[in-house]
Amino acid sequence: MPNGRPGDHPAVDILVHGISSGFPDDIFETVRDLAQHPKYPLISERVDELLWKYWPSWRNANPDLDEVRRQLQALREELEQAE
């Protein structure tokens, strides 16, 4: 996960600072839940990239949040299969 201050990267905002970073509550909670999984390091870079790509900020005013949800669900299923 990238290091930084609030606002530097959405993964840092969500996982380190507990800030939603503009994402809806369900995505915020899903990311925090995934990060608690013991095998989260297997997918952490892809979660970081997904959050960066679809970050609802000045760089992406209308992100496809349904796509974020779909991809997070696929990553959750991957973690469950890795157990």
Separation of alpha carbons 10 and 12, rounded Å: 5
Contacts of residue 51, defined as CB under 8 A and 6 or more positions apart, other chains included, come to 9, 10, 11, 14, 21, 23, 31, 68
Mean pLDDT of 13-25: 93
Q: Give pLDDT, residue 51.
A: 95
Separation of alpha carbons 51 and 28, rounded Å: 10
Q: Give pLDDT, residue 61.
A: 79
- For the segment 23-42, what is each residue's pLDDT rounded down to a tens digit? 999 999 999 999 999 999 99
Query: Given pLDDT bands bounded at 50, 70 and 90, which one contains residue 69?
Result: very high
- pTM flag (> 0.85): yes
Q: C-alpha angle 48/4/72, rounded to 5°?
A: 15
